[in-house]
Chains A and B, each alone.
Chain A
């Protein structure tokens, strides 16, 4: 088959149980073009691309390559047609080397001595696109950006003319994003076409030539980049104006609610992950911890909330020493927790919504007297959570896995703050959520701050950090590169460099180059 010059999707529709995820969608992309597919979560972007990649079968509509209709019924078909996809969560085997992973996904891998025989090809490709990757390294040793490049090589080796990237920047540092965009531009100049699924407006403006906007499964707009601005795109995406500058009034610092001193914590592999971190959090404050994931943030959050053992150092909440107490005791002492990866940690997916609404509180007297659960009160409480935190569901008698990510997160947040804890530890609370849900959750965090609560916010999203936080710490390789005041615009300019570990500020002393 010849190279793809032009790809069209005509009147694509796909429904799940009578609910249209895609309806009459038209979309086209041509050689040497980068198309942005913009939309909130649940707008149908990923569904549409999964149809193109052969993972789903459409109910109606047609895919045309170079004006000829084609049928794609499996990822294998789509690879044969020259379509490659890099998923949001990388499909790599962590314990295998780069070359082994590529050999596994490469169709023409020879049966005997595959590694040796395709090595040259990989090196050649890496050189052609200026990828800097050692093919013999194990995948777990690679950063997220490098893993993504491995995925891209996999797709290109299989002859992809069209590359689909699902939320490609969500796990990258600002520097790595720049590198990715350079690679994409390079591909574009060689006549490849690219579709990027995203809900980040900045990326659209920076890299895409054209944008198609989806909302609730339909195309609601499309434009050349030259003819639109961010505000306009945001309006198309959510159907109304978005709050870009959240209203964060000045508040006087309250009393100290959390004090962490010289904390050391081991990671999953038994190596030090948090290496001597100290900081205080006060009431009426949102304290942000920025940084690229994998620099000890998860371990720090788990240590404070009692899920992970602290090897040395001290955590004090209010006046109580909570070092190495059980998560339940720590909760009872006023520290609640919105965990990262909400599905993996925050809920029991197969249990009902009302079961999940008391995950952290089922031991409290109001929900269970000694032994027996009080389902009457539990359901009452759940209904009020659903109502107060705008969880969209037709009933509380449904398994929670049937809810969308945004609604699950609203329920988790409601569960964690409804008891008015003195400190909320929130790990990536808006990760992967649509603009509407994100805005809502951020407002709730600010509300907690106004009400006299404190929030310890872990986030990779700098926009979120700047919008919400009073003070910002940047974490790199288990240490703080400095704690900055949000008004310290001068030093905050270097935040990208701090995240990459190349600049470190210690408070009061100014910049120290490493």
Chain B
């Protein structure tokens, strides 16, 4: 007889934590390999293609950095929310609201303001849009005890449909020949890119500065201290007199606001107009959840994990073309990675052993 014994690990070292993460990534790659095998593709070749597509060439790496920008912003913001155990699954919607507000400011004042004022105003509006979208579930949670997973998730659909409504309705551009989407943003509203790439560096700098500030907030400020206490033990937070309502509002304003930044970056740096929600974002709000998780909720590490996952997105695009795999493959890869990372966490916290033998005679009472 073989039984499985699970017991708490009493001390977790940093080394073990890193090794566990690497091991889970490896295990995930094996599982991904099985998926490729089922698709009739040589798994080693496919995985090699993913990484050579994203990190193996200058072009690929530029694309990887481009896609890392929104992931750094959103993933960084999510580390804050997740640290307080506020499960914000609504970053996608918050990104979209940021994109919407940024586009609105860009279109409305594009002709009257110079770039120097216009672009910051667009980012500010984007932050406000994302923050608003993040505040709603925070208020619902604290005042009405509504589960934030449900409310943030559902708000994603509301935001997406709201944008769709605008771009096929009142905001439909005159230059679109009847196709949905706003007019192009004026040149003053567009972000410069590094020549020969799509890297809108203003957003990249904003992203890195944001997560650095976030790290300072989390580890060095009164507010960050309160976030950590709430996340570790809400009862102790209550006892210490931490104002849950205020703290949750600030957390979600920051988390949503950073997603809003990302939305502005995507619209003003890449697409240049507001189109269908699915084309504005391609699921960054969800991928960022894994980014935050892999970063162990450390804002600074989210830069590295964002680049890693951006690489997988880019590499996924590459194998779609070179191996003719369906677009959903990348989502499967990401999903598998998340599941394995979470499983890895379980093995990090618990010691799991197989015990052999020891069949015991039953006692007859």
Contact = CB atoms under 8 A, between A and B. Distances in A.
Contact of A345 (B3, B11, B239): B239
Contacts of A71: 358, 360
A307 B363 contact: no
Contacts of A76: 360
B363 A82 contact: yes
A372 B220 contact: yes
Contact of A331 (B220, B232, B233, B241): B241
Contact of B363 (A17, A159, A327): A159
A351 B232 contact: yes
Interface in B219-268: 220-223, 225-226, 228-229, 232-233, 235-243
Contact of B233 (A17, A73, A347): A347
Nearest to A367: B222
A1 B360 CA distance: 10
Contact of A80 (B232, B243, B362): B362
Nearest to A73: B358
Contacts of B223: 371
B14 interface: no
Interface in A329-387: 329-331, 337, 339, 344-351, 355, 359-360, 362-363, 368, 371-373, 375
Contacts of B3: 73-74
B358 A345 contact: no
Given A1-B363, A346-B239, A371-B223, A77 B229 contact: no
A17 B240 contact: no
Contacts of A307: 238-239
Nearest to B353: A57
A306 B241 contact: yes
B232 A349 contact: yes
Contact of A159 (B226, B242, B355, B365): B365
Contacts of B235: 344-345
B279 interface: no
A346 B236 contact: yes
Contact of B239 (A73, A108, A339, A372): A339
Contact of A77 (B221, B236, B243, B358): B358
Nearest to A371: B221
Given A348-B233, A349-B233, A355 B225 contact: yes
B175 interface: no
Nearest to A330: B241
A373 B239 contact: no
A327 B238 contact: yes
A373 B222 contact: yes
Contact of A359 (B240, B364, B365): B240
A155 B186 CA distance: 78
A328 B222 CA distance: 14
Interface in A147-178: 158-159
A74 B1 CA distance: 13
A449 B10 CA distance: 39
B11 A363 contact: no
Contacts of A402: 10-11
B145 interface: no
A326 interface: yes
B343 to A, nearest CB: 21
Interface residues of A, number: 44
A81 interface: yes
A101 to B, nearest CB: 19
A331 to B, nearest CB: 6
A351 B228 contact: yes
Given A327-B238, A337-B239, A1 B222 contact: no
Nearest to B362: A80
A111 interface: no
Contacts of B240: 327-328, 359-360, 362
Given A159-B363, A346-B236, A348-B232, A373 B241 contact: no
A371 B239 contact: no
B221 A372 contact: yes
Contacts of A81: 360, 363
A373 B220 contact: yes
Contacts of A329: 241
A16 interface: yes
Contacts of B242: 328
A360 B362 contact: no
Interface in A96-132: 108
Contacts of B239: 305, 307, 327, 337, 339, 345-346, 359-360
Interface of B: 3, 10-11, 220-223, 225-226, 228-229, 232-233, 235-243, 355, 358, 360-365
Given A74-B3, A373-B220, 17 more contacts: A1-B363, A17-B11, A73-B358, A80-B361, A108-B365, A158-B365, A305-B239, A326-B243, A330-B241, A337-B239, A344-B233, A345-B239, A347-B233, A347-B236, A348-B228, A362-B226, A368-B221
